[in-house]
């Protein structure tokens, strides 16, 4: 520890000091401002005081973790969340910081200068505001914090001199400790007796104590379990919790095999072999065997392998790619639940009886949702949770196996979901999803579906051991926008954004001066403006508390049509972002005024709008009855009219054509601008290619449609389709790989911008129910 942070170094802050518009009451664990009081958790106050001890100095992340968490093993997620919470409590904006500044790749510094506070306001001067980090821990400390604050002031309101310890928190008063000791003993005896009585008469399931605060601790303590050069994914605990099985790809991502390791990581070995993609292992038969899914180019099969054998055997089939669902086994290992292909491109859940070989269908998602994936049995085997929907419109469902017809929606917040796992006792599930700006873990109540934010940015496909241990994979994507010169066949595409995060949704302005795009480089998704070559990046002046997506240019190049994903939650457990329901709305952004104005009259949840080429109309989507309907209105929002009552995935338009991708339809509809006179194209394999085109990525310019085809060699390429002459040819020997929309033509047709995942790393993390330090202390 350096001298600046040692117990005897420097000058201690007073128990109260002023920081900007706040008075920091260290003894009372409070911030006092004009609007009232805000209570801080002990760790939050400890972090604030450590920053205030050296204002203006960059404190490295590892230094803060060591000193504020006092040597306990936690990962960066704990510090990132604590900083986010402090900023929220202080009313600070990381993009225009007034209190805490982030120094990229180094750490943080306090930029507001602490000033001594000689007099304190009366104790009852203002009401207490709820903290942004309210939860089990915050509620438990409310009365203690209030009592300490009262003890730290005289009747006249003058601040007492309260000595601070080495971590910057007040040292306890020995006299107060003696006064409270006797009463603590009495209360403690009574509490122990009551707990003992309840333990005998009302035994609780193991999951009864799986609260969000406790689960966040496991996330904070998570350490790398496997970081092979390839992808480490689909990890599962054995039933007894001693072993872990997971899928490991080779460095080139050409094949993946099942690996087995002891939970401490000391013993590990490859189990399956071959040139296929083996995924989603699950232990069966008393942890002596695993069942897993083997994926090939156009096939999927369920396979079983004993841990002592070198070969696996086929036990059934499953939905082929692009459906790549995880599987699960019932607690007794007899039933395997998996995704099964249905007609018209749908996939539902089916159950395979390992003894009889009989397959029974459990679910059918219907024509709108299309896909049921990633099933997980509850601990007692009576229920399943699974994801329904596709792309960014997935939701978590619950299925009682005794009455499959009574399947119900559990979590209504839609987004990209990445699996769920039941907590011990079946009181809740841990859900991974991109629900409120980025992919993370949440606790979902099994009865109500209420969400609580846990953390672990980038987390996917969690699993929970019987003792509460937590496994999850972290997928780190670096996606940039590339630009190709379509007039120079010899020129190679060039990356025009440089970010460690996710950049996509490019859109050239009609005058060719700007490129708008979406990115999460500063936290929540927002929109940015740059020159066509990617230089001069500037964030649009949009509300940082909301997500902003899908920029579309007005023909005058002075306005953008943008979609806001609006969070309507009043919850306090979902830090750093609330976890309530969301809705969407369309806004018109004025570049000169730097202001976004909502467009009224479009109806509830209008989203993903595009201007017509003449600027007179807005085309947009509205969700209704499980479908994304296509609508059109005047540019000012007047006279909205339903154009297409179908489940529209994406659409694009130019001066003459409206091209629509409808879910569960092969090919694309090409229509007039009134959604009339439609015909279907690209519903058959291209001549000489052999594989039907993908519908996901499209861009339209003056009758030319860019789309993606994967050839028989596995290479994905961009093709060009001439809508006037029904002719196609190769456009570019590359293709986008991010979430759509990811393609845009420049107004003169020379440049094509597209988004590509430049780097993807997937590693496994293990968070134990108790840290090694805690375990040693308990012993």
Rg (CA), the chain: 29
Tokens 């590693």 — which residue? 763
- 466 and 378, same structural domain? yes
- Residue ranges of the alpha helices (H) in 54-157? 61-68, 76-90, 136-151
- 3-state SS string over 235-253? EEECCCCCEEEEEEECCCC
Q: What is the pLDDT of residues 592-602, one digit of tens each?
A: 999 999 999 99
Instruction: Label residue 139 by pLDDT band (50, 70, 90).
Output: very low
Torsion of CA 402, 418, 767, 523, to 10 degrees: -140
pLDDT for 576 beyond 70? no
Extract the runs of DSSP E, i.e. beta strands, from 201-346: 223-226, 232-237, 243-249, 256-262, 268-270, 277-284, 289-296, 299-306, 313-317, 328-329, 335-341
- The values of phi and psi at residue 34, to 5°, are -60, -30
- 527 and 452, same structural domain? no
Domain finish residue from 645, 672, 705: 645
Token couple for 772:
């090694």
Q: What is the pLDDT of residues 239-278, one digit of tens each?
A: 999 999 999 998 888 899 999 999 988 889 999 988 899 9
- 772 and 629, same structural domain? no
Q: Which residue has the higher pLDDT, 740 or 422?
A: 422
Neighbours of 625 (CB within 10 A): 8
CATH number at residue 87: 1.10.10.10
Residue 730 domain flag: no
- 593 and 517, same structural domain? yes
CA–CA separation, 251 and 254 (whole Å): 8
* Cβ atoms of residues 23 and 149 within 8 Å: no
Half-sphere exposure for 300 (CA within 13 Å, toward CB): 19
* Cβ atoms of residues 555 and 563 within 8 Å: no
pLDDT for 631 beyond 90? yes
CA–CA separation, 278 and 305 (whole Å): 12
Residue 193 domain flag: no
Q: Which residues contact residue 67 at a Cβ distance below 8 angstroms, ignoring those fewer than 6 apart?
A: 1, 5, 50, 167
Give the global pTM. 0.66
Residue 234 domain flag: yes
Largest Cα span, the chain: 91
Domain finish residue from 159, 192, 225: 159
CA–CA separation, 634 and 640 (whole Å): 7
Closest CA to 17 of 9, 26, 8: 26
Residue 650 domain flag: no
Residue 519 domain flag: yes
- 362 and 229, same structural domain? yes
Q: Which residues contact residue 480 at a Cβ distance below 8 angstroms, ignoring those fewer than 6 apart?
A: 495, 496, 497, 498, 499, 503, 755, 756, 758
CA–CA separation, 109 and 101 (whole Å): 5
CATH number at residue 610: 2.120.10.30
- 498 and 588, same structural domain? yes
Residue 166 domain flag: no
pLDDT for the residue 152: 35
Q: What is the pLDDT of residues 59-107, one digit of tens each?
A: 988 888 888 887 666 666 678 878 888 888 888 877 778 999 988 768 8
Closest CA to 560 of 496, 514, 629, 623: 514
Domain finish residue from 608, 629, 645: 645
Residue 462 domain flag: yes
- 101 and 69, same structural domain? yes
Instruction: Label residue 297 by pLDDT band (50, 70, 90).
Output: confident
Residue 187 domain flag: no
Provide DSSP, 717-776: EEEEEETTTTEEEEEES----SSSP-EEE-TTS-EEEEEEEEEEEEEEEEE-SS-HHHHH
- 498 and 473, same structural domain? no
pLDDT for 744 beyond 90? yes
pLDDT for the residue 12: 46
Token couple for 741:
């929309």
Task: Identify the domain containing residue 372 by its residue range.
Answer: 211-477+762-778
- 235 and 135, same structural domain? no
Q: How many domains does the chain have?
A: 3
Half-sphere exposure for 580 (CA within 13 Å, toward CB): 10
Q: Which residues contact residue 453 at a Cβ distance below 8 angstroms, ignoring those fewer than 6 apart?
A: 212, 436, 440, 442, 573, 574, 575, 576, 577, 579
pLDDT for the residue 301: 95
- 319 and 243, same structural domain? yes
- Computed over every residue of the chain, the mean pLDDT equals 81
pLDDT for the residue 96: 79
- 500 and 638, same structural domain? yes
- 463 and 501, same structural domain? no
Q: What is the pLDDT of residues 36-58, one digit of tens each?
A: 788 888 888 889 998 998 998 88
């Amino acid at each position: 520890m350096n001298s600046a942070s040692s117990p005897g170094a420097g000058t201690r802050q007073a128990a109260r000091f002023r920081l900007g518009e706040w008075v920091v009451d260290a003894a009372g664990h409070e911030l006092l401002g004009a609007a009232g009081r805000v209570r801080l958790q002990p760790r939050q106050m400890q972090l604030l005081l450590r920053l205030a001890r050296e204002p203006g100095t960059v404190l490295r992340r590892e230094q803060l973790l060591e000193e504020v968490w006092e040597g306990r093993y936690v990962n960066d997620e704990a510090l990132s969340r604590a900083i986010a919470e402090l900023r929220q409590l202080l009313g600070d904006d990381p993009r225009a910081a007034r209190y805490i500044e982030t120094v990229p790749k180094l750490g943080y510094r306090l930029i507001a200068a602490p000033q001594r506070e000689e007099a304190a306001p009366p104790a009852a001067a203002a009401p207490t505001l709820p903290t942004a980090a309210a939860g089990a821990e915050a509620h438990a400390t409310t009365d203690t914090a209030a009592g300490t604050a009262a003890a730290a002031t005289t009747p006249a309101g003058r601040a007492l001199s309260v000595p601070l310890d080495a971590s910057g928190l007040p040292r306890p008063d020995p006299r107060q400790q003696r006064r409270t000791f006797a009463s603590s003993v009495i209360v403690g005896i009574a509490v122990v007796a009551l707990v003992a009585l309840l333990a005998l008469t009302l035994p609780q399931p193991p999951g009864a104590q799986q609260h969000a605060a406790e689960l966040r601790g496991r996330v904070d303590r998570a350490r790398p379990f496997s970081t092979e050069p390839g992808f480490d994914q689909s990890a599962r605990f054995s039933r007894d919790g001693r072993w872990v099985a997971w899928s490991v790809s080779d460095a080139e991502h050409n094949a993946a095999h099942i690996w087995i390791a002891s939970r401490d990581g000391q013993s590990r070995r490859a189990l399956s072999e071959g040139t296929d993609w083996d995924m989603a292992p699950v232990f069966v038969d008393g942890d002596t065997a695993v069942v897993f899914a083997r994926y090939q180019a156009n096939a999927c099969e369920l396979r079983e392998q004993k841990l002592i054998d070198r070969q696996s055997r086929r036990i059934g089939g499953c939905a082929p790619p692009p459906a790549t669902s995880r599987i699960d086994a019932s607690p007794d290992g007899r039933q395997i639940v998996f995704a099964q292909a249905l007609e018209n491109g749908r996939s539902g859940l089916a159950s395979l009886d390992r003894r009889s070989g009989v397959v029974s269908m459990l679910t059918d998602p219907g024509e709108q949702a299309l896909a049921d994936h990633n099933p997980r049995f509850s601990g007692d085997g009576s229920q399943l949770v699974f994801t329904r929907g596709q792309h960014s419109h997935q939701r978590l469902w619950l299925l009682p196996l005794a009455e499959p017809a009574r399947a119900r929606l559990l979590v209504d917040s839609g987004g990209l979901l990445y699996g769920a796992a039941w907590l011990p006792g079946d009181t809740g599930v841990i859900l991974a999803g991109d629900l409120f700006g980025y992919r993370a873990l949440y606790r979902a109540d099994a009865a109500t579906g209420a969400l609580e934010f846990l953390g672990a940015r980038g987390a996917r496909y969690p699993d929970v051991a019987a003792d509460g241990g937590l496994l999850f994979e972290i997928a780190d994507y670096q996606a940039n926008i590339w630009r190709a010169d379509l007039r120079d066949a010899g020129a190679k595409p060039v990356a025009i954004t440089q970010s460690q995060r996710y950049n996509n949704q490019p859109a050239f302005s009609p005058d060719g001066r700007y490129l708008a795009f979406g990115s999460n480089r500063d936290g929540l998704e927002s929109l940015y403006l740059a020159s066509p070559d990617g230089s001069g990046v500037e964030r649009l002046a949009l509300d940082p508390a909301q997500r902003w997506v899908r920029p579309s240019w007005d023909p005058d190049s002075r306005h953008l049509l943008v979609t806001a994903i609006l969070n309507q939650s009043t919850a306090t457990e979902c830090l750093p972002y609330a976890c309530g329901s969301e809705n969407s709305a369309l806004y018109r952004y004025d570049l000169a005024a730097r202001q976004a104005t909502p467009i009224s009259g479009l109806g509830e949840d209008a989203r993903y709008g595009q201007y017509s080429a003449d600027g007179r109309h807005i085309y947009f989507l509205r969700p209704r009855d499980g479908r994304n309907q296509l609508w059109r209105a005047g540019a000012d929002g007047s006279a909205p009219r339903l154009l297409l009552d179908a489940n529209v995935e994406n659409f694009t338009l130019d001066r003459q054509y409206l091209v629509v991708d409808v879910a569960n339809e092969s090919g694309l509809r090409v229509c007039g601008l009134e959604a009339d006179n439609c015909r279907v194209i690209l519903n058959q394999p291209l001549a000489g290619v052999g594989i039907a085109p993908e519908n996901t990525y499209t861009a339209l310019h003056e009758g030319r449609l860019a789309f993606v085809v994967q050839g028989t060699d596995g290479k994905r390429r961009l093709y060009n389709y001439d809508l006037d002459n029904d002719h196609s040819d190769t456009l570019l020997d590359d293709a986008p790989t991010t979430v759509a929309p990811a393609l845009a033509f420049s107004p003169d047709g020379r440049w094509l911008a597209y988004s590509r995942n430049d780097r993807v790393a997937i590693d496994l993390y293990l968070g134990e129910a108790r840290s090694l330090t805690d375990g040693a202390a308990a012993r």
